[in-house]
Amino acid sequence: MVRKEVTVLLPIYIKWSKSLEQSLKAYIRSLAIDFSINRVHVLETTKRFTRLMIEGEDANIMVKFLEKELGKPMVWNEIKEEEEYKGRVIDVRDDGVLVDIGLIGDDYYRIKVPFEDFVRKIFRVKTNIPREIFDFFGIRKYFPLSVKVNFELELNERERIAWGLLGRSTVKMLRSWFSKRFDRIVVYGATRSQVEKAIRESRHVIDILNVERLGFLEHIIICKWGTSAKGLIPEIGPFLPQAYMGVFMPRYVKKKIKELSRVNSFQ
């Protein structure tokens, strides 16, 4: 039997428990549905990386797949122009998000993606938005997204920041969310079973279209048409005490961007 160790960019930022370990193993096995894998062992978890041992005939292939799907520890010389890297938001600032793509040691840089790049890629308009509008994208710390490193701009050595652009897979996902126009709640710090249980116990099954997985501890609650995500959070939140949530409100965001674009066109 082949045994292979792998470290992936999979942050565990809630209290560790036996049940969470079992959920993590189940999550990894759900990603391995096309591979012959016998067992998954969790060796170590941190708020950045998770170290696993994969056992099975396809362990070597599975390791490569997990590194590509989730991200892995890297050094700067491994970064290639035009290549997309999986990452996690680690901070939302007044003009953009900072993303961890797994750079380590002396090569640790956060990748900054400006709000303007989100707007340009998703809506195909050139305008900037304030933090107050971006907050309604639902993007908070640990949101998974893909980025490209922008080598045309200089590194900020003092703050350890490199510049980046939003990756195609994230653009495609967010465009789909905006085109469908449903409010969504982004839940951070809960397993899928915990999210589904909270919806049942809060008696809001009737208000929900579906729950979709974004990452291991990140999920999307899709609200039915006419249901406000902002209004559901105080109803569902008490049933997920260790989680935090973001609100995705596509109609509000599109309206505000349209207003800003109109103002900018006359300046």
Q: For 246-255, write each residue's pLDDT tens digit.
A: 999 999 999 9
Geometric angle at alpha carbon 74, from 68 and 78, rounded to 5° = 90
Q: Is the pLDDT of residue 29 over 70?
A: yes
d(CA 263, CA 200): 44
* pLDDT band for position 187 (cuts 50, 70, 90): very high
Q: Is the pLDDT of residue 42 over 60?
A: yes
d(CA 100, CA 147): 10
Q: Is the pLDDT of residue 103 over 80?
A: yes
- Residues 37-45 have a mean pLDDT of 96
Q: What is the pTM of this model?
A: 0.94
pLDDT confidence of residue 34: 86
pLDDT confidence of residue 1: 81
Retrieve residue 1's tokens. Answer: 């039997």
d(CA 237, CA 97): 25
Retrieve residue 25's tokens. Answer: 């193993």
Query: Hey, what domains does the chain have and what are their CATH numbers?
Result: 3-70 (3.30.1340), 76-167 (2.40.50.140), 184-248 (3.30.70)
- Using the 8-state DSSP alphabet, how is residue 189 labeled? S
Strand order in the sheet with 50-55: 3-8, 50-55, 39-45
What is the torsional sign of CA 71, 211, 184, 121?
positive
d(CA 71, CA 86): 5
* pLDDT band for position 30 (cuts 50, 70, 90): very high
Cβ(109)–Cβ(76) under 8 Å? yes
Whole-number average pLDDT of the chain: 95
pLDDT confidence of residue 262: 73
Q: Is the pLDDT of residue 60 over 50?
A: yes
Report H helices in 34-167: 59-70, 115-123, 131-134
How far lies 84's CA from each of 73, 98, 141, 201, in Å? 15, 15, 20, 40
Cβ(89)–Cβ(143) under 8 Å? yes
Closest listed residue to residue 189, CA positions, set 143, 152, 233: 143
Render pLDDT for 109-164 as a digit per residue (tens, 0 to 9). Answer: 999 999 999 999 999 999 899 999 999 999 999 999 999 999 999 999 999 999 99
